[in-house]
Amino acid sequence: MSQPPTIRDVAAEAGVSPALVSIVFREVPGASPANRRRVLEAAERIGYKPNAIASRLRSRARRSLGVFMFDLRNDLTSDVFQGIQGRADQEGIDLVVGVSDPSGERDERTIGELIAARVDAIALISTAMKGAELRQLDRTVPLVSVTRRVNGIDSVVADDAAGSAAVVGHIASLGIERVVYLAPPWDHNARLEGYRAAMERLGLEPEVVQVEYGAEAAFGAARRLIRSGRLPRAIFAYNDLMAHAVLEALVESGLVAPQDVAVAGFDNVRFSASKLISLTSVDQRAGALGALAVDRALSRLGSRRGPAGLSVIEPELVIRRSTAG
């Protein structure tokens, strides 16, 4: 069975941008009469039906918040969502959820679906989309970026650089000088910058291994490091999902953390505290991030023309067996 037409299909048929199509169906200013007619005619030709959720939301006096989820495999996503849900319930806000995937290929489509649902604002729990693209979408509906700082858009983040510095300082205090960092290939990465700056302050040589985001890529990178003959004394992974994969690679090779390699992650997801994993990690206080994202969205709706705001939460290093022994 073929998939029903989407906003992107309407945009392609009309020869306009998905953002313009969203403006037309949200019935907000920003499209000329000619463009509105072109979009509506294109929608009729291909049989596009406006999202049924949108009709229900329009009939309510309550405000609605779209929640974009980047990676459901990462417990951090669900922890942030719980914070959003709790604050939304307190404020009487309806939630509409859209799920992308770790490749980032569905990001624009998923956000477009949330816009089509005519939500009042969207909280983005991570996204791989470029800042310029997000700033363009923010002109259509207010966006709040959670766990990633995006210039020109309301953002709610932990101090990633400080978290990375805490990890490096802890590992260096154990007498370890070679700390390899596993980093995803993203242009702006405060965790990576914090790692590099901390290593340089201590007179140590940063060593970055760039890998695709995800457990499988981290497992492969760790395996290559093990087989290289130059095994580092410590591996610091971008997040706990990737750090868990590093621990698996060590077990496969008959190695033990921290005796052979100290391992640390970032996010402090619930599974990291288990006796089996016992991973040293940086706690972002995910629930608080989610609650602040709702507050930011409400603030933006109350002052649409104001400058983008930034809320920063101080993270906490949680030391466990993977580094401390």
Dump pLDDT digits (tens) for 191-234. Answer: 999 999 999 999 999 999 999 988 999 999 999 999 998 999 99
Of the segments 21-25, 91-95, 187-191, 254-258, which one has the largest average pLDDT value? 254-258
Cα 142 vs. chain centroid, distance in angstroms?
17
Q: Is residue 69 part of a domain?
A: no
Q: Is residue 194 part of a domain?
A: yes
Query: Which pLDDT value is given to residue 21?
Result: 80
Q: Is residue 10 part of a domain?
A: yes
Query: Which pLDDT value is given to residue 245?
Result: 97
Q: Is residue 84 part of a domain?
A: no
Contacts of 51 (CB under 8 A, 6+ apart): 113, 116, 117, 118
For residue 103, is pLDDT > 80? no
* Pairwise CA distance, residues 121 & 66, whole Å: 6
Q: Which of 8-12, 23-27, 222-226, 290-294 is least confident?
A: 23-27
Q: Is residue 63 part of a domain?
A: no
Average pLDDT over residues 64-92: 90
* Pairwise CA distance, residues 149 & 35, whole Å: 34
* Pairwise CA distance, residues 232 & 268, whole Å: 23
Query: Which pLDDT value is given to residue 9?
Result: 84
**CB 108: neighbour CB atoms within 10 A?**
20
- The residue out of 50, 71, 89 marking a domain boundary is 50
Percent of the chain past pLDDT 70, that is, above it, reads: 90
Q: What is the identity of the amino acid at 193?
A: E
Average pLDDT over residues 21-40: 77
For residue 317, is pLDDT > 50? yes
**CB 27: neighbour CB atoms within 10 A?**
10
Read off the pLDDT band of 26 (50, 70, 90): low
Alpha-helix residue ranges (DSSP H) falling in the chain: 7-14, 18-26, 33-46, 52-58, 75-91, 107-116, 131-138, 160-173, 190-201, 215-227, 240-252, 286-302, 321-324
Query: Which pLDDT value is given to residue 57?
Result: 45
Query: Which pLDDT value is given to residue 281?
Result: 98
* Pairwise CA distance, residues 87 & 320, whole Å: 31
* Pairwise CA distance, residues 209 & 180, whole Å: 7
* Pairwise CA distance, residues 141 & 143, whole Å: 6
**CB 73: neighbour CB atoms within 10 A?**
11
Angle in degrees, 0-180, between the axes of helices 160-173 and 190-201, rounded to the nearest 10: 40
Give the CATH number of the domain where residue 41 resides: 1.10.260.40
| pLDDT single digits (tens) 130-175 | 889 999 888 889 999 999 899 999 999 999 999 999 999 999 999 9
pTM for this one? 0.76
Query: Which pLDDT value is given to residue 1?
Result: 40
* Domain that includes residue 42, residue range: 1-50
The widest CA-to-CA distance across the chain, in whole angstroms, is 69
For residue 61, is pLDDT > 60? no
Give the CATH number of the domain where residue 206 resides: 3.40.50.2300
Average pLDDT over residues 77-95: 93
Residue in 211, 153, 156 with CA at minimum distance from that of residue 181: 211
Q: Is residue 218 part of a domain?
A: yes
124 touches 146 (CB < 8 A): yes
Average pLDDT over residues 272-293: 95
For residue 284, is pLDDT > 60? yes
Tokens of 301: 């709706």
Mean pLDDT of the chain: 88
Long-range contacts of 129-136 (CB under 8 A, 24+ apart): 129/104, 131/188, 133/108, 136/19
Query: Which pLDDT value is given to residue 66?
Result: 94
- Count Cα atoms within 13 angstroms, Cβ side, for 321: 10
Q: Do strands 207-210 and 281-283 pair parallel, antiparallel, or not at all (unpaired)?
A: unpaired
* Pairwise CA distance, residues 131 & 117, whole Å: 23
For residue 47, is pLDDT > 90? no
Query: Which pLDDT value is given to residue 56?
Result: 47
For residue 303, is pLDDT > 70? no
- The residue out of 50, 70, 85 marking a domain boundary is 50
Q: Is residue 46 part of a domain?
A: yes
Length in residues, the chain: 325
Contacts of 274 (CB under 8 A, 6+ apart): none
Query: Which pLDDT value is given to residue 115?
Result: 86
Query: Which pLDDT value is given to residue 165?
Result: 98
* Pairwise CA distance, residues 169 & 316, whole Å: 13
Read off the pLDDT band of 43 (50, 70, 90): confident
Q: Is residue 27 part of a domain?
A: yes
Number of domains present in the structure of the chain = 2
* Pairwise CA distance, residues 291 & 311, whole Å: 11
